[in-house]
Amino acid sequence: MNEIHTISLVDLVQKMRDKEISSVELMKEVLDRVDETHDDLNAVVAIRDRDALMADAAAADEHIAKGDARPLEGIPLGVKDLEHAEGLVTSMGSKPFADDVATKDSDQVAKFKEAGAIVLGKTNAPEFGYTAITKNLVYGVTRSPWNLEASPGGSSGGSSAAIAGCVLPLATGSDGGGSVRIPASFTGTFGLKPSFGRISNGPRPRWSYNDTVCNGPITKTVDDAALFMDQVVGPSPYDPNTLPHPGYSYVDKVNTRLEGKLKIGYSPDLGYAVVQSDIAASVENGVKEFEKLGHSVTHVKGGPPLNAGGWGRMGAFEIRGGIGHMLPALEGEFGRSFINGINNAESLTAEWWGEYATDRLKLNDWCADVFNEYDVLVTPTIPFDPPNAKGPFPLEIEGKKQCDVGVAAFTIPFNLSWHPAATVRAGISEAGLPIGLQIVGPRHRDDLVLQVAKAFENERPWHPEWPTTWTK
């Protein structure tokens, strides 16, 4: 395999600047890799016209030759199939939307194109991003390059499989309850859920009251994620929740070593999670790297109050509000578990809303206390190994009943609280699958989370160990 598939995004950009590889050569290589891996991984599920892609690549080479290359000039980009890219179908992984061609780019995709990236196609996602297993009735099942029997997670599973399997150098993801961090952890990639509003979610078809979804990177390295962030952060008139530009470069931040001694809080279970023993041991061992670097680590007792059922019902309620006009005429076209889930949201009441809002404020207060005491919080990312590619998730772990939130036990709280949270590869489980360690920071301190992640990566480098070949 050509090394351009396995090197980091940052190194690939540099090789193109140094004219060691052209954009045309890169595009040919990536298209060949998509074709080669499609039957096994099913990560990239739609591709733009290939002649148009090659023409865009040739134009990128002209920019580079003239010395006016943009930061991502000529880099092929995969767009998660819950996000619009003009001229491509946004199926949402749902049969009723299988022919829904986008007429406009999302804000994020538009910024990537302004930075020189070339939209290659779409990466697979579960129907409306509703589960953490990537399969749907439009494109089928996506599989992990680490083990084709295993799921790469979801809902950004197509993107995570494409990055870990060295199929694409760049892909988008989004995280409403763990949908960047879960697949990143399952595939051993780096994943960041930024602070809410850091990257635009616009334009949207309607005003959103389910304020937990963040766009964020799934990449080979922390440096790659910083480069990703630098292209897409900042305000948008199409998303009223977007934050101002932070006023600095994330690339500069991750290349600046942490100063001083950090106070790190460590929770192995957030007070309620049941964690697979080898995963717990690996994360515990990983936390020791921070102590070796001179930072203090303190066990955090207990955990946040978490109304995960409320989180799920709110998401279902909003989706139901968007597609309710299509029901019951097209109800049979949607996945059964998906439609059952969103139909349950019809039972929401004002009293239920009041309880949910109260619980969410209690979660916020718990986070406030934690980050008044500690600079960052560290936890496992996922409590168990990836499930089968078709599911289901386990109800028990080593004979102990799994908690209600299951796979998202460690991720959902920080979507509800809007704190930035990242996952780094901490090790490999006894089953030979990646283990993630989660780093959570104060609101709007995405830079600190990236710096801490980079410090860990320096001590425990996982790149370039990627599953580039596999047996069926």
pLDDT, tens digit (0-9, with 9 covering 90-100), for 339-380 = 999 988 888 899 999 999 999 999 999 999 999 999 999 999
pLDDT in tens, 161-196: 999 999 999 999 999 999 999 999 999 999 999 999
Say yes or no to pLDDT of 472 above 70: no
Q: Tell me the pLDDT band of 269, cut-offs 50, 70 and 90.
A: very high
Residue predicted with more confidence, 173 or 470: 173
The active-site residue, picked from 23, 94, 155, 236, is 155
pLDDT digits (tens, 9 = 90+) for 14-61: 999 999 999 999 999 999 999 999 999 999 999 999 999 999 999 999
Catalytic hit among 179, 185, 195, 282: 179
pLDDT band of residue 131 (cuts 50, 70, 90) is very high
Average pLDDT estimate for 378-402: 97
Confidence (pLDDT) at 406: 93
Active site residue 337: no
For the chain, domains (ranges, CATH) are 3-459 (3.90.1300.10)
Residue-level pLDDT at 259: 84
- Check: CB of residue 173 under 8 Å from CB of residue 180: yes
Q: Above 70 in pLDDT, residue 336?
A: yes
Kindly state the percentage of the chain with pLDDT values over 90.
95
Write down the pLDDT at residue 404. Answer: 83
Residue 471 pLDDT grade (very low, low, confident, very high; cuts 50, 70, 90): confident
Mean pLDDT along residues 138-156? 98
Cβ contacts of residue 374 below 8 Å, gap of 6+?
263, 264, 265, 298, 300
Bridge-partner residues for 169, per DSSP? none
Instruction: Tell me what pLDDT residue 463 has.
Output: 97
pLDDT of amino acid 105: 98
Reply yes or no on whether 80 is catalytic: yes
Mean per-residue pLDDT over the chain, rounded: 96
Q: Which pLDDT tens digit goes with each residue over 191-230?
A: 999 999 999 999 999 999 889 999 999 999 999 999 999 9
- Within its chain, how far is the Cα of 329 from the centroid? 33
pLDDT category at 78 given cuts 50, 70, 90 is: very high
Let me know if 160 is a catalytic residue. no
* Residues 101 and 111: beta-carbon distance below 8 Å: no
For 448-468, how does the pLDDT look when each residue is reduced to its tens digit (9 = 90+)? 999 999 999 999 999 999 999
Quick one: average pLDDT of 75-92?
Answer: 98
Catalytic residue among 8, 22, 23, 80: 80
Cβ-contact 154, 131 below 8 angstroms: yes
pTM over 0.95: yes
b/e burial code for range 21-49 (CB count within 10 A of at least 16 → b): bbbbbbbebbbebbeebeeebbbbbbbbe
For residue 256, is pLDDT > 70? yes
